[in-house]
Amino acid sequence: MSDASHLVPVAVHAPVHSGLGDLLSYASPEPLPPGTLVRVPLGAREVLGVVWDGAAPPPAAGVEIRAVAGVLEGLAPLDAHWRRLVAFTARYYQRSLGEVALAALPPQLRTLSAEQIARRLRRSTPAPEVAAETIENVVLSAEQESARAQIASEPGPFLLFGSTGSGKTEVYLRCVQEALAAAPDAQALVMVPEINLTPQLEERFRARFAPRFGAAAVVALHSGMTHAQRLASWLAAHAGRARIVLGTRMAVFASLPGLRLIVVDEEHDPSYKQQEGARYSARDLALWRGRTQGAKVILGSATPSLESWHASLPATPEDPAGGRYLRLHMPSRIGAGALPRVRRVDMNQQPRRSVLSPPLLAAIAERVARGEQSMLLLNRRGYAPVLHCADCDWKSDCPHCSAHQVFHKLDRTLRCHHCGLTQRVPRACPACGSLDIVPIGRGTEQLEEQLAELLAPVLRPDGTPARIVRIDADSTRAKGALQSQLAQVHAGEVDVLVGTQMIAKGHDFRRITLVAAVQPDGALFSSDFRAPERLFALLMQAAGRAGRDAAYMAVQGTPCEMWVQTSHPRHPVFEALKRHDYPAFAAQQLQERAAAGLPPFSFQALVRADARTQDVAQGFLRAASEAAQALPELAQVTLYPPVPLAIQRVANVERAQMLLESQHRTALQRFLAAWQPLLHATRADPAHKGLIRWLIDVDPLAI
């Protein structure tokens, strides 16, 4: 390194557990401000890096300092707010700084040359547009106006607890409008849990804001976009041209220098928790980012997560401070529409093996005859979960996973939904040769087929047969298939919609008057303590698809309904659902969790090990637990023994996990930070040969 060179610290995406540390030192002929994007050599490759804050780490003795290969000209440095967000994420979720930083950037930034980036920048600068002076707003209801006024006058964060159909989106639109009007460089981030909800929301935001700010002011960011589209959206947000970014969990890392408002819609949804790499919660990071960047944060849901509900408890004489969030309540539907009446069908009293109970089938037939729409929810795709031989008890087990291969009748395949293995359905039992192999259980394919048979005699008002559409991960694989099927439903070209949880979230179906949950009991007795919360949220969200158009319901003259077929009609989940009483359900669940010392009254982390054998996986976790006994930080943390995962083998990899729990978040974080070097040392021990990988999941959503 010449005397004229400057040492700069650079964050790069180094190989996992490489031991290289968070930052590497490189030589630059001139000082580079933190946040500058650079290309640097790493081994035999040239990679993207981000110049970081502070002094460069001193080089080890005898190590040659390599030079920065190039700077991405024309791109303003990533600001201090973005760098703090990345640093916090890496620290809290126990990942490397470079891994988080580089994963948060568009993939094309890693591959395009400086010249190509410059061309993209020139192309992405739109011509000036003539904008209208005002935005056409709808009149807010009293509840919407109250929520808007409180958001405008209070610092937040806010939990907007509004029933399905109460108009939460309109409140978001108005709050975004006010945030943008407050400053010429102000930006807003609006997050949704699912990719398939983004186009629907994008359409509403463009219709509202494009006349005022231009079409380029609203961009989307989600994994369903091409690399080129993601780069264009990211560049527009980074340069401040995009005033509104709509996206899924990845959008929480968008470079937004003028961020003034963050909206997290359906904040309870598990999709906000990343399940690969850095297992961050985008909802929690949105709250952290809003606090540190001075942006207001609105969490919205009809069924808030119990963590958010607990954090928004109002002040009481026993707790004068109350929760950290301000809870805003919107219990009424727009247009004075009624929430659906919930009807429980006791399947113990129905004909054995019936798919749909006679009363529910009759109710659906009535809807079809009147030209109304119905929606049936079965959260299991395929035709049947398993094929079974009645003679020798053979089942369609996946040879690579601890799971069954699912029978898909349409293409006569057996598919593993974990490793992806697909095989043709055998003509006879592979074990004994018997031809008597039958499907057990039901999936959406079978429900669609049987519904078509049962409704065959039923005619629509125009005398044509009932039209049934299935929406699940199988029927929407082709590009544009989901948008096409949803358009059919919105246009009234579908009488009965069958699907998985994909159809239960966020969609604004205007003609659905009946929703039915066909087999919801599986989640009632799960070993996961969060299963009742997830089931209640799913059923409440599904019920919210019915009767959303008050004017349409008034013309039809019949009440909207939610039917639940269950063998446990008196279960507390269904009792609360019948009353649409989320507060009562939340109070009961929080009481149980407080008694058991479960989140949000404690804090958890999982350490997971994947190996060639279960013995190796659990052996690594046991050794890591023994190494932790020497740590003083262990005093406030409980380590449970390692156990296999519920599905312990996937793609011939055995999986085990170990739960950590503490009453204090900071104590758990201190322990994890102190434990990391011991985990690395344990991994390097030859005794654990056969270990493939290990990872830490902080605040896990599934155990």
* Residues of each annotated binding site for Zn(2+): 389, 392, 398, 401, 416, 419, 429, 432
Per-residue 3-state assignment (H helix, E strand, C coil) for 189-224: EEECCCHHHHHHHHHHHHHHHHHHHCHHHEEEECCC
- The better pLDDT of the pair 214, 267 is held by 267
Exposure class string for 15-45: b at 16+ Cβ within 10 A, else e:
eeeeeeebbbbbbbeeebebbbbbbbbbeee
The structural domains of the chain, with segments of one domain joined by +, span 6-123, 142-330, 337-381+444-594, 382-442, 603-698
Q: Write out pLDDT tens, residues 304-343.
A: 999 999 999 987 777 777 789 999 999 988 876 788 899 9
CATH class of 142-330: alpha beta
Domain 603-698 has CATH 3.30.70.600: yes
pLDDT, residue 322, reads: 77
How far apart (Å, rounded) are the C-alpha atoms in residues 402 and 184? 56
| Contact of 447 with 474, CB cutoff 8 Å | no
Q: For 656-689, write each residue's pLDDT tens digit.
A: 999 999 999 999 999 999 999 999 999 988 889 8
Q: What is the CATH architecture assignment of 6-123? A: 3-Layer(aba) Sandwich (3.40)
User: Closest by alpha carbon to 290, among 317, 320, 262, 318?
Assistant: 262
pLDDT at 511: 87
If we measure between CA atoms, which residue out of 390, 375, 328, 348 comes closest to residue 153? 328
The per-residue pLDDT for range 396-450, each reduced to its tens digit, is 999 999 999 999 998 899 999 999 999 999 999 999 999 989 999 889 999 999 9
| 456-492 pLDDT per residue, tens | 999 999 999 999 999 988 888 888 888 888 888 888 8
pTM here is 0.92
CATH architecture of 337-381+444-594: 3-Layer(aba) Sandwich (3.40)
Confidence check: pLDDT of 17 > 60: no
Establish whether domains 142-330 and 337-381+444-594 are of one fold: yes
Q: What residue numbers does the annotated binding site cover? A: 389, 392, 398, 401, 416, 419, 429, 432
Q: Which of 408, 420, 418 is nearest to 444 (CA)?
A: 408
